[in-house]
Structure 1
Amino acid sequence: MLDLTKIAKAMQGISQHLTLEAAASRQRLDLAQQLLVAAHAHQIELVERQQKWRDRILFSAGTPVEPLNTCIDLPIPPRVHTVIATDGSQIAPNHHEIAYCYLLNIGRVVLHYGQNRQPLLDSLPEVFYRTEDLYISRQWGIRTEEWMGYWRTASEATVLAELAVSEAGAAGGENSIQNPKSKIQNWVAPSVPTLAMVDGSLIYWFLEQLPIEARDRILPQILEAWDQLRNAGIPIMGYLSASRSSEALNFLRLEACPHKVPDCLAYCPNQLEKTPCQVLDPLRDSALWTIQLQPGQRSTLWRSSARILDLYGSHAIYFCYVHVGTEIARVEVPAWVAENSALLDQSLGLMLAQVQKGYGYPVALAEAHNQAVVRGGDRARFFALLEQQMIKAGLRNVGTSYKEARKRGSIA
C-alpha cells in the first residue's frame, strides 16, 4: 500500500529541480537552432564527412536526404482507404502458476473507410508449452521472458503481412502509384490506398545484443514479412509517440565537433564524461521539431545510421518527424517507401488522418492494442481453462504454489 504522506515529503524540491531543468532545456534548444542553421549552410559537406568517417564515429547519427530546413504540409488523404495494424501482448511464464507456459496474443485490426465494408477487430492467441519453446533461448543466455518479447515482435510482423496479403487479394490491385526511379521491379499498388502500421520503431535495437544464432531466428522472419508487404504494394510504417530518439540532433554534433574530422576513436577515446560535441544532451529530436513545424507538417527525411540496419538488406529505415497536432511523432518507413515520394506522401496523409480520428493517437494502433491486451480477468480465465484441461487429462495436484496463493489474499 502506498503511503501518500511519505510520498509528499519525498517529492519536496522536485518542482524547483524541474524549473531549473526547464531553463537549461531552453538554452540547449536555442543552441540546437543555431547549429541547425549552421549545418544547413554546408549540409553536403557534413554528410560527406559523416559517410567518410562512419567507422570512426561512436554515436548513431541520422543522415538527412533533404534540406535540413524542410517543412512540408502533408496531403489530405483520399476518402476511400484502408488501414491495417497489429499489436501484441503476453502472459509471461511463472513457476508459481499451475503450469509453466506462456501466451502471446496478437491483436488484429483492419479498418475500411468509404467502402461500406465491415472492419476486422480480433486477436490471435498462441500458447507455448513445449520444452523446446520454453527453454530454447537458455542456450544463448537469454531468459525466457526476454525471448518471449522478441518472438512477439516477429509474430506481429508476420500477422501484419498475412493481413496485408489477404487484403490485397480481396481488393485486387492496379498500378495506381508508380515511381520510375524506384528500384523495386513489378511493384503493384492495391486499388484502394492501404497503410500497414505498427506501434513503435522498425529499428529493432535489441537485435544488436543477441548472438547470431538467436538473431537469425527473429530478423529473417520480420524481413520476410516486409517482403510480402512490399510485394502486395502496401507500405509499412512505425509510429513512435513521445519518441526519445536523438538521431537527428546527433547529426548536429558533426557541426559542433571542434576537431578537423569526426574521428571519435582518435580524439575522444574512452570518454566517460560528455565529449566536446555533446552540447545538446539530454535534448531530444522531438523538442527541436516542436518549434520548427506547424501542425500537419513533416520534417526533413532522414536515413537512419543504426548499425543493425546493415543486416536489413534492401529494407534500410528512413524516418521523419510529424507535427500531428498534439505532439511531435517520429515516423519510420523502409527504403522502398521512402524512395517513392508519392507513396510516402500518401502514407503520411493516411497516418495523420488516423491520429485525428483517434484524438491524438492513431485509432488503428489503439484498437490493435485493445484487442491484444491481456487484462487481469483474462489471465485468470486463461489459467482456469488450463486447469480444466490438465484435470481432464488426468493430472492431479493441479494448483498454484502456496506463495502465489498466499499473495492473492491478505489477513490485513
Structure 2
Amino acid sequence: MLDLTKLALQMQGMSQHLAQEAIASRQRLERVQQLLARAIRRQDVLVEQRREWSDRLGFAAAEPVEPLETMVEVGPAPALHSVVATDGSQMAPNHHEIAYCYLLNVGRVVLHYGQACAPLLDSLPEVVYRAEDLYLSRQWGVRTEEWMGYQRTVLESVVLADLVQEVAGSGAIASGSGVVQPSLLESSPCLAMVDGSLIYWFLEGLPAEARDRILPPILAAWEQIRQLGVPLVSYLSASRSTEALNFFRLESCPYANPDCATHCAGAVENAPCQVFSPLRDSLLWAGSLKPGFRGPLWRSWARILELYEEPQRIYFCYLHVGPEVARVEFPAWVAEDRVLLDWALRLTLAQVQKGYGYPVALAEAHNQAVVRGGDRARFFALLEQQMLRAGLQNIGISYKEARKRGSIA
C-alpha cells in the first residue's frame, strides 16, 4: 500500500529539480537554435562531412534531404479514403499459472470515410504453448519475455499487410479483379498505420540467426503493402529521438574533422559537441513549425538499417498536429513518391484531428488488442476447461499465486 504522506516529502524535491531542468532546457534550446541558423548556411558541407566521416562518428545522425528551413503545409484529407491500422498486446508466461504459455493479441482496424462500407474492429489472438516455440530464443541468450515482444512486432506487420490486401481486393480502393488501379487510388486513397518506430533498434543486440526470424517477414509484409500502392507510416507521439539534433553536432564540433574515434574516444556522451543533451528533436521543431505544417524530410542512418533493403530504408519528418509535434516515419518508397507522401501526411493529420490528439485508428487498434484483467481470467478459465476435457488432473495455480490473490490485510 502506497504511503502518500512519505511520498509527499519526496515530491517537494522532485518539483524543484523539474523547475531547474525547465530553465536548463530553455538554455539548451537557444543553443541548438543558434546551431540551426548556422547549419542552414552550411548544410551541404555538413551533409558531406556526415557521409565522409560516418564510420568515425560515435552517434547516429540523420541526414536532411530537404533544406533545413523547409516548412510545408499539409492539406486536408480527401472525402473518400480508408485507414488500416494494427497494434499488439501480449500476456507474458507465468510459471505460477495452470500452464506455461503466452498470448499475442493483435488489434485490427479498418475505417472507411465517405463510403458505404462498415468498419472492421476486432482482434486476432495467437497462443504459443509448444516447448520448441516457448524456449526457441534461449539458444541465443534471449529471454522468452523479450522474444514474445519481438514476435508480436512481426505479427503486427503481417496482419497489417493482410488487411491492406483485403481492403484492396474488396473494391474499396481497387477494381473487382483485385488489381489496384492508380486512378481509383487517387480518388479513394488508403493509409496503413502502425504505432512506434519502423527502426527496430532492438535487432542490434541479437545474433544474426535470431534477426533472420524477425526482420525478413516484416520486410516481406512491407513489400506486399508497397506492391498495392498503399503508403505505410508509423506515428510516434512524444518521441524521444535525437537523430535530427545529432546532425547539428557536426556544426558544434570544435575540430576540423568530426573524428569521434580519435578526438573523443571513450567520452562520446560528454563530448564538446554535445552542448544540448538531453534535448529532443520534437522540442526544436515545436518552436518553428505551425500547426498543420511539417518540417524537412530526413533519412535515418541508424546502423541497423544496413540490414534493410534499399526501398525499405527509413525516412522521417516532424509534423505539428496541434497538441504536439509528432515524428512520422515511412519507408523510402513512400518518401521518394511525392503523391504517396502527400496522401500519407494528409491522412495522418486527419486521423489525429479525428482522434482529438492521437490517430483514432491506432487508438482503436490498441483498445482492441489490450488484454485486460477480466480477459486474462477468462482465458485461463477457458484453458482449464479444455485441460479437464483432455483428462488432465491436478490442475491449479501455485501456492504462491493463490496466496497473493487472497491477502489477509
TM-score with structure 1 setting the length = 0.96
Amino acid at match of 2:362: L
- CA offset at residue 169 of structure 1? 1.1
CA change 1:225–1:272 in 2 (3 A) is closer
- Structure 1 residues 266 and 176: alpha-carbon distance in aligned structure 2, compared to 1, 3 A threshold: farther
1:195 equivalent to 2:191? Answer: yes
Q: Does 1:262 align with 2:258?
A: yes
Q: Is the 8 A contact 2:351 2:361 kept in 1?
A: yes
Residues 263-316 of structure 1 deviation map (CA, whole Å, 9 limit, x = unaligned): 111111111651010001010001101111000000110000100101111200
- The alpha carbon displacement at 1:242 in A equals 0.3
Q: Deviations over 1:242-270 (max 9, x none)?
A: 00000010000000000011111111111
1:284 aligns with 2:291: no
For residue 191 of structure 1, report the CA deviation from its aligned partner. Answer: 5.7
Separation (CA, whole Å) in 1 of partners of 2:155 and 2:16: 46
Q: Which amino acid in structure 2 is aligned with residue 208 of structure 1?
A: E
Q: 2:182 aligns with which of 175, 199, 204?
A: 175
Shift of the alpha carbon at 1:176?
3.5
Among candidates 365, 369, 376, match of residue 368 of structure 1: 365
8 Å CA contact 1:319, 1:332 repeated in 2: yes
Report matched runs for 1:220-259 at 5 Å: 220-259=216-255
Mapped pair 1:62 → 2:59: no
* 8 A Cα contact 2:157 2:221, kept in partner: yes
Give the aligned CA root-mean-square deviation in angstroms: 1.0
Query: CA–CA distance in 1 between the matches of 2:103 and 2:88?
Result: 10
1:147 is matched with: 147
Match of 1:37 in 2: 37
Q: Aligned residue for 2:177?
A: none
Aligned to 2:93: 93
| SS of equivalent residue, structure 1 residue 33 | helix
Equivalent AA in structure 1 for residue 309 of structure 2: G
The 1:176/1:253 distance shift into structure 2, 3 A limit, reads farther
Contact residue 231 and residue 343 of structure 2 kept, 8 A: no
Match of 1:388 in 2: 385
Question: Secondary structure of 2:183's match?
Answer: coil
Give the match for residue 345 of structure 2.
348
Among candidates 300, 303, 307, match of residue 296 of structure 2: 300
Q: 2:399 is matched with which residue?
A: 402
- Which residue of the partner structure matches residue 309 of structure 1? 305
TM-superposed CA distance for 1:42, in Å, is 1.0
Cα shift at 1:190: 7.2
What fraction of aligned residue pairs are identical, expressed as a percent?
68
8 A Cα contact 2:80 2:187, kept in partner: no
Spell out, residue by residue over 1:297-353, the C-alpha distance to the aligned partner (whole angstroms, 9 max, x if none).
Answer: 001100001001011112000000000000010000000000011210111000000
How far 1:192 sits from its partner (Å)?
2.2
The whole-number CA distance in structure 2 between the counterparts of 1:16 and 1:159 is: 47
Measured in 2, the distance between the counterparts of 1:236 and 1:273 equals 34
2:214 to 198, 207, 218: 218
SS in 1 for 2:84: strand
Q: Is the 8 A contact 2:260 2:268 kept in 1?
A: no
The separation in 2 between residues aligned to 1:9 and 1:53, in whole angstroms, is 50
Distance 1:158 1:8 in 2: 47
1:163 and 1:192 map into 2 onto residues whose CA distance is: 16
* In 1, Cα distance between equivalents of 2:238 and 2:121: 26
| C-alpha contact (below 8 Å) 2:78/2:188 kept by paired residues | no
Query: CA contact under 8 A between 1:40 and 1:68: conserved in structure 2?
Result: yes
* CA positional deviation for 1:233: 0.7
The residue type equivalent to 1:242 in the other structure is: A
> Partners in 1 of 2:330 and 2:116 — Cα distance?
29
1:365-385 CA-to-partner distances (Å, cap 9, x unmatched) read: 000000000000000000000
SS of alignment partner, residue 70 of structure 1? coil
**Cα deviation per residue 1:139-187 (whole Å; 9 max; x = unaligned)?**
001010000000000000000000011111112121239xxxxxxxxxx
* 1:107 is aligned to 2:114: no
Specify whether residues 235 and 272 from structure 1 end up closer, same or farther in structure 2 by C-alpha distance, changes over 3 A only: closer
Partners in 1 of 2:319 and 2:343 — Cα distance?
A: 14
2:354 equivalent among 354, 357, 373: 357
Residues 354-397 of structure 1, C-alpha deviations (whole Å, 9 max, x = no match): 00000000000000000000000000000000001111100000
Q: CA separation in 1, counterparts of 2:194 and 2:270?
A: 34
Q: Describe how 1:319-334 pairs up with structure 2 within 5 A.
A: 319-334=316-331
Query: Structure 1 205/119 Cα, relative in aligned 2: closer, same or farther at 3 Å?
Result: same
Moved more, 360-369 or 263-272: 263-272
Structure 2 counterparts to residues 126-165 of structure 1, below 5 A:
126-165=126-165
- How far the C-alpha of 1:13 sits from its partner, in A, is 1.8
CA distance 1:273–1:66, shift in 2 (3 Å):
closer
Distance (whole Å) between structure 1 residues aligned to residue 154 and residue 31 of structure 2: 40
Q: Which runs of 5+ in 1 are unaligned?
A: 178-188
